Amino acid sequence: MTAPVPSLAEASAGIAAGTLSPVALTEAALARIAALDPKLNAFITITADRARRAAALAEAEIKAGRRRGPLHGIPYALKDIYDVAGVRTTAHSKLLIDNVAREDAASTARLEAAGMVLLGKLSTHEFARGGPTDVLPFPNAKNPWNTAHFAGGSSSGSGVAVASGMVGLAMGSDTAGSIRLPATFCGVVGLKPTYGVISRRGIVPLSFTLDHAGPLTRSVEDCALAMQVLAGHDPGDPGSAREAVPDYSADLRKGVAGLTIGRARAYDSEAGVDAEVMAAVDAAAEQWRALGAKIVDVALPSKRRMDACIQTILIAEGFAIHGGWLRTRPKDYGRVTRERLMMGAFVTGGEYVQAQRLRRIITAEVDAVLAGCDAILCAGNPTAAPRVVDVDEGPFRKSHPITGPFNATGHPGLALPCGFGASGLPLGLQLIGRSYGEAMLLRIAQAYEQAVGWMARRPDLGG
Give backbone dihedrals phi and psi of 155, rounded to 5 degrees, phi first.
-85, 55
Q: What is the pLDDT of residue 1?
A: 56
CA 280 to the chain's CA centroid: 21
- What are the 10-residue block averages of pLDDT along the chain, 463 residues in total? 92 98 98 98 98 98 98 98 98 98 98 98 98 96 98 98 98 98 98 98 98 98 98 98 98 98 98 98 98 98 97 98 98 97 98 98 98 98 98 92 98 98 98 98 98 92 75
Question: Per residue in 275-291, pLDDT tens?
Answer: 999 999 999 999 999 99
Q: Of the listed 7, 93, 154, 240, which one is catalytic?
A: 154
CA 320 to the chain's CA centroid: 24
What is the value of pTM for the model shown?
0.98
Q: Of the listed 107, 178, 207, 249, which one is catalytic?
A: 178
Give every CB contact of residue 180 below 8 A, 6+ residues apart in sequence: 174, 190, 192, 380, 403, 413, 414, 415, 428, 430
Q: Of the listed 7, 79, 142, 249, which one is catalytic?
A: 79
- Catalytic site includes residue 158: no
* 15, 24, 184 from 73: Cα distances, Å: 8, 10, 28
Residue 136 CB coordination number (10 Å): 22
Which of 130, 186, 199, 200 is closest to 158 using CA atoms? 186
What b/e string do you get for 356-381 counting C-beta neighbours within 10 Å, with b at 16 or more? eebbeebbebbeebbeebbbbbbbbb
- Catalytic site includes residue 178: yes
- Catalytic site includes residue 79: yes
Q: What is the pLDDT of residue 150?
A: 98
In angstroms, rounded to a whole number, what is the distance separating the alpha carbons of residues 118 and 26?
Answer: 9
